[in-house]
C-alpha cells in the first residue's frame, strides 16, 4: 500500500514556508505522496487556499521523492489544453512524480466569483477530458465541441512520459467518461464513511482496472479539530491496523490538524507501512 498525505486546504491560513516544511517532512519520513486541493473561494467564513498549479510547481522543485498531485484539479477552472500543458510541465519539473487528479468541481460560489460557467459541469468535463487525455497521451488534438475547442494542438516540448490520470468521482456518468482512460480512482473519506466496510462496498462498484485510492480522516489526540467530521475519524494508534484493513492500493491521510508535527508523528507511528 502507498500512503500519502493531504497538505492544508482551508483549515487555516498557511504560508509558503509552512507548506515547504510539511512537504519536506513527508519526503524525509517516507510518505509516498503529497496532495493539495484545487479551490478558489469558500464562504462561511470566506477563505481559500493558494492557487494549486503554482503551488504544485513549487513543491515539485522543492522535494526529491514524493509524488505530487491535486486532490483533485477542477477541469472547469482552466482551458483543457492549458491544463494538459501545466500537467506536463509539473511532471517535467518533478522528474516524473506527478499524478493528475481531475474532477468537475462542485462549489458554485467559486465558479460565480471568478466568472467561470457552472452549468452542465459534467458535459463540460467530458469535452475537456477528451482534450486533456489526448494531449497527455502524446496526440495532436483537434476538437470542436459545444464548450471547448482545440485546433491541431500538441504539447511541446514533448512530455517525457504519459502523465498518469486519476478520477476523483463516484458518479456513474463521470466514471463512464474518465475510467477507461485513468489508472487510479480516488474517493473522499466522507463518501464511504471512513470505514473499511464502507470502502469495500463503494469500491466494488468501480471498474476493476483502476487502482483504488482512499482518503482517510485522522484526528490527532489532544489537538484542535480542524475538520468537522461527518464520520468517525481514525485515531493514530489505530491507523496502521485501519489501513491494512482498508484494502486500498493507496491511502491519502487527511489529518486534523495538518501540520509538520503531525506528519512527522505519523511517520514514526506507521513505520514499515511507509516506503
- Mean pLDDT to the nearest integer, 145-162: 97
Is residue 204 very low, low, confident or very high in pLDDT (cuts 50, 70, 90)?
very high
Higher pLDDT, 194 or 274: 194
- Give CA–CA dist 250/191, Å, rounded: 16
- Mean pLDDT to the nearest integer, 245-271: 95
> Domain with 87 in it: what CATH number?
3.20.20.30
- Give CA–CA dist 161/137, Å, rounded: 8
Range of the domain at 173: 2-273
Identify any residues that bridge with 144 across adjacent strands, giving them in sequence order.
149
pLDDT at 250: 98
Is residue 24 very low, low, confident or very high in pLDDT (cuts 50, 70, 90)?
very high
pLDDT at 7: 98
CA trace torsion 199, 38, 220, 263 (10° rounding): 110
Rg (CA), the chain: 18
pLDDT at 274: 86
pLDDT in tens, 35-62: 999 999 999 899 999 999 999 999 999 9
- Give CA–CA dist 218/1, Å, rounded: 17
pLDDT at 275 over 70: no
pLDDT in tens, 98-135: 999 999 999 999 999 999 999 999 999 999 999 999 99
pLDDT at 272: 81
| Number of folded domains that form the chain | 1
pLDDT at 44: 86
Is residue 65 very low, low, confident or very high in pLDDT (cuts 50, 70, 90)?
very high
- Mean pLDDT to the nearest integer, 218-234: 83
Name the residue among 135, 204, 128, 192 with its Cα closest to residue 163: 135
Mean pLDDT for all residues in the chain: 96
Write out the three cell numbers for 119: 452549468
- Give CA–CA dist 91/85, Å, rounded: 10
261 Cβ contact partners less than 8 Å away, ≥ 6 residues apart: none
Which pTM does this prediction carry?
Answer: 0.96
DSSP 191: G
Q: Using an 8 Å Cβ cutoff, are 9 and 37 in contact?
A: yes
Amino acid at each position: 500500500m502507498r500512503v500519502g498525505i493531504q497538505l492544508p486546504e482551508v483549515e487555516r491560513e498557511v504560508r509558503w514556508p509552512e507548506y515547504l516544511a510539511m512537504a519536506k517532512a513527508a519526503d524525509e519520513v517516507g510518505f509516498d505522496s503529497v496532495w493539495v486541493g484545487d479551490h478558489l473561494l469558500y464562504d462561511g467564513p470566506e477563505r481559500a487556499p493558494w492557487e494549486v498549479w503554482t503551488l504544485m510547481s513549487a513543491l515539485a522543485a522543492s522535494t526529491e521523492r514524493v509524488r505530487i498531485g491535486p486532490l483533485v484539479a477542477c477541469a472547469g477552472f482552466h482551458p483543457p489544453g492549458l491544463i494538459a500543458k501545466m500537467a506536463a510541465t509539473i511532471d517535467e519539473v518533478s522528474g516524473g512524480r506527478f499524478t493528475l487528479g481531475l474532477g468537475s468541481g462542485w462549489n458554485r460560489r467559486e465558479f460565480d466569483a471568478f466568472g467561470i460557467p457552472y452549468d452542465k459541469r459534467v458535459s463540460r468535463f467530458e469535452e475537456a477530458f477528451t482534450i486533456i487525455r489526448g494531449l497527455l497521451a502524446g496526440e495532436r488534438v483537434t476538437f470542436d465541441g459545444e464548450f471547448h475547442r482545440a485546433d491541431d494542438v500538441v504539447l511541446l516540448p514533448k512530455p517525457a512520459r504519459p502523465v498518469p490520470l486519476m478520477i476523483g468521482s463516484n458518479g456513474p456518468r463521470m466514471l463512464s467518461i474518465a475510467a477507461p482512460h485513468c489508472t487510479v480512482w480516488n474517493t473522499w473519506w466522507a463518501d464511504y464513511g471512513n470505514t473499511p466496510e464502507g470502502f469495500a462496498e463503494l469500491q466494488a462498484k468501480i471498474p476493476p482496472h483502476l487502482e483504488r485510492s482512499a482518503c482517510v480522516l485522522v484526528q490527532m489526540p489532544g489537538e484542535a479539530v480542524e475538520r468537522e467530521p461527518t464520520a468517525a475519524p481514525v485515531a493514530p494508534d489505530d491507523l496502521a491496523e485501519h489501513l491494512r484493513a482498508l484494502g486500498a492500493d493507496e491511502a491519502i491521510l487527511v489529518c486534523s490538524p495538518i501540520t509538520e508535527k503531525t506528519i512527522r508523528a505519523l511517520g514514526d507511528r506507521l513505520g514499515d507501512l511507509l516506503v
